[in-house]
């Protein structure tokens, strides 16, 4: 049954007027720790997955939050944190959660589009990587910058936005780029941005609009929209901040269309566990 759970936002404009998200929809109990969501191009189906330690399943839902089907992957959910897709409808799942900054088996799982309606254990391709600038596992406390919960696909590459665990620098994110193909790769550092100092400023999700002209970065406290950038220099352009009045463990974000985003949050002791939709303008 669908329950309406209201999520309120402030939108930073010249007049600082409020903008409200119309409603939220309860997610199925199977997605109690939802950690990522994605809509494949030319589709209304929404793909989601749970956080690390859960079964290696991905879930297909409709816009009402109703479960359409579940697919089990032939892989381990060590710490799945986000999901994205390419223009051919292939899914990519980021198994790169790295709370202690000491993992040496970071990977991204590629799920072929033609497997998304099959049954049984679905084979995946593994894109293994390491950060080009990480020298110690774990590094010193002032360099705990190699956790990650957010990424997207763009022009044959994958872009990762890290989550800082440095004290008073929680909102810092480093942007890395690596090829979206099977193999072992080094994720190249290409930029950085600071969203704030508290844990509420952690980067927990990201997506890029289908036209490649805007990206959305999610924290538990805000949505940040970047536009008017050149190529993949995402942070050098226009920026718009959308602060939340409602705080919950938000971890998933994707574009439904050019001016509509889909958000999800984990069920945290009865708070959250919903899917939200709202306009960006």
- pLDDT for 49-80, tens place per residue? 999 999 999 999 999 999 999 999 999 999 99
Contact yes or no for 231/215 (Cβ under 8 A): no
Cβ-count burial 174-191 (b if 16+ within 10 Å, e if not): bbbbbebeeeebebebeb
What confidence tens digit (pLDDT) does each residue in 76-92 have? 999 999 999 999 999 99
Domain count of the chain?
Answer: 1
- Position 146 scores a pLDDT of 98
Look at residue 109 and tell me whether its pLDDT is greater than 60: yes
What confidence tens digit (pLDDT) does each residue in 209-247 have? 999 999 999 998 899 999 999 999 999 999 999 988 777
Instruction: Kindly state whether residue 187 falls inside one of the protein's structural domains.
Output: yes
Domain that holds residue 160: 7-115+122-270
Question: H or E segment at 163?
Answer: strand 157-163
Contact yes or no for 33/80 (Cβ under 8 A): no
Q: Cα separation of 50 and 28, whole Å?
A: 12
Look at residue 4 and tell me whether its pLDDT is greater than 70: no
Instruction: Kindly state whether residue 275 falls inside one of the protein's structural domains.
Output: no
What residues contact 250, with CB distance under 8 A and at least 6 apart? 204, 205, 218, 219, 220, 244, 263, 264, 265, 272
Instruction: Kindly state whether residue 12 falls inside one of the protein's structural domains.
Output: yes
Instruction: Kindly state whether residue 206 falls inside one of the protein's structural domains.
Output: yes
Computed over every residue of the chain, the mean pLDDT equals 91
> In angstroms, what is the C-alpha Rg of the chain?
17
Q: Are strands 147-154 and 67-73 parallel, antiparallel or unpaired?
A: unpaired
Structure tokens at 15: 């007049």
What confidence tens digit (pLDDT) does each residue in 18-45 have? 344 445 899 999 999 999 999 999 999 9
Look at residue 14 and tell me whether its pLDDT is greater than 60: no
DSSP β-bridge partners for residue 119: none
- Position 23 scores a pLDDT of 55
DSSP line for 27-42:
PPGGGTTEEEEEE-TT
3-state SS assignment for residue 199: helix
Instruction: Kindly state whether residue 210 falls inside one of the protein's structural domains.
Output: yes
Look at residue 269 and tell me whether its pLDDT is greater than 80: no
Q: Which CATH number goes with the domain that contains 240?
A: 2.120.10
- Position 3 scores a pLDDT of 38
Cβ-count burial 74-93 (b if 16+ within 10 Å, e if not): ebebbbbbbbbbbeeebbbb
What confidence tens digit (pLDDT) does each residue in 148-169 have? 999 999 999 999 999 999 999 9
Instruction: Kindly state whether residue 278 falls inside one of the protein's structural domains.
Output: no
Instruction: Kindly state whether residue 2 falls inside one of the protein's structural domains.
Output: no
Instruction: Kindly state whether residue 265 falls inside one of the protein's structural domains.
Output: yes
Q: Cα separation of 209 and 19, whole Å?
A: 21
């Amino acid at each position: 049954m669908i329950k309406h759970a209201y999520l309120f936002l402030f939108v930073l404009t010249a007049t600082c007027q409020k903008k409200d998200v119309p409603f939220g929809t309860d997610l199925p109990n199977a997605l109690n720790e939802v950690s990522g969501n994605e809509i494949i191009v030319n589709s209304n189906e929404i793909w989601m997955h749970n956080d690390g330690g859960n079964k290696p399943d991905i879930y297909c839902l409709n816009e009402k939050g109703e479960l359409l089907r579940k697919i089990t992957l032939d892989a381990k959910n060590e710490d799945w944190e986000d999901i994205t897709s390419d223009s051919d409808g292939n899914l990519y799942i980021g198994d790169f959660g790295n709370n202690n900054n000491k993992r040496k088996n970071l990977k991204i799982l590629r799920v072929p589009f033609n497997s998304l309606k099959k049954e049984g254990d679905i084979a995946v391709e593994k894109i293994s990587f390491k950060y080009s600038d990480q020298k110690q596992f774990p590094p010193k406390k002032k360099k705990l910058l190699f956790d990650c919960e957010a990424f997207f696909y763009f022009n044959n590459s994958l872009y990762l936005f890290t989550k800082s665990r440095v004290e008073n620098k929680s909102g810092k994110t480093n942007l890395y780029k690596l090829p979206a193909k099977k193999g072992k790769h080094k994720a190249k550092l290409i930029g950085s941005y600071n969203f704030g100092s508290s844990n509420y400023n952690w980067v927990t999700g990201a997506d890029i609009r289908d036209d490649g002209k805007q990206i959305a970065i999610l924290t538990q406290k805000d949505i940040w929209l970047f536009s008017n950038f050149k190529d993949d220099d995402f942070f050098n352009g226009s920026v718009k901040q959308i602060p939340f009045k409602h705080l919950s463990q938000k971890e998933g974000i994707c574009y439904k269309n050019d001016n509509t985003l889909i958000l999800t949050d984990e069920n945290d002791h009865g708070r959250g566990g919903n899917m939200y939709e709202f306009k960006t303008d």
